[in-house]
Amino acid sequence: MQWIAMITMLIDHIGAVFYPQVAELRIIGRIAFPIYAFAVYIGYKHTRNVQKYIWRLFWIAVLSQLPFMAAFNHFSLNVVWTLWSALLVLLVLDKLPVRMLGIPIVALAGLVMEITHMDYGMYGLLLVLLFRYFQGPILVMAHVLLNGLYIMLYSGSVQMYSVVATAGIAIAQYYNAGFRLKGPRWIWRYFYPAHLAVIVLIRWI
């Protein structure tokens, strides 16, 4: 699953930077983010040290920011900030004495993510929360509805293809597939800033 996320993200970013006219590359790229969102929830659920996990994501976000801005030539915050913020929300939600307090907290966090122009913004936070609360067909339908809202707000119809990844995750959950990280952990952790840096170097060359 992790390799699918990395490869499809790479294809997406190559398309965005070098071949923006090739829509198929962006469609393939929609598979990546749901897997990363799911991975954040799974990582939070199974980590032995959530504080260490939070700091690790924070430093990856910091490390990725300059390559992200240089690669895409804009000044928004990279997607790791979105995942990091979602991780913080997960932690806060689990510490609330009353569940209903989670609604204003999620709304406030999403508003901050939108104001600070985090990649995917509130959409990314809500997708992580969908993986927390739903499974199976309900998860897939909830993601379809979320994508419908996203399309109405941002006119990004290509985002609907991301449901393919969520459907795959739902099927894997049904068959009790393991989601353990395979391969060296450093590749999974640092592929994002590393591949952005390579894209920047190619652009400059």
Cα–Cα distance for residue pair 101/108, rounded to 1 Å: 11
Distance, CA of 17 to CA of 60 (rounded, Å): 21
pTM of the predicted protein model: 0.93
pLDDT at 188: 81
Each residue of 152-165: pLDDT tens digit? 888 778 999 999 99
- Kindly indicate the confidence band of residue 59, based on its pLDDT and cuts at 50, 70 and 90: very high
Q: Identify the pLDDT of residue 181.
A: 62
Q: What pLDDT sits at residue 1?
A: 84
Contact 96, 102 (CB under 8 A): yes
Instruction: List Cα–Cα distances, 14 to 11, 26, 117, 150, 185, in angstroms.
Output: 5, 9, 22, 23, 23
Residue type at 149? Answer: L
- Give Cα separations from 87 to 83, 95, 135, 173 (angstroms): 6, 13, 19, 21
What secondary structure does DSSP assign to 93-156, as a single string?
Answer: HHH-SSGGGHHHHHHHHHHHHHHTTBTTHHHHHHHHHHHHH--HHHHHHHHHHHHHHHHHHH--
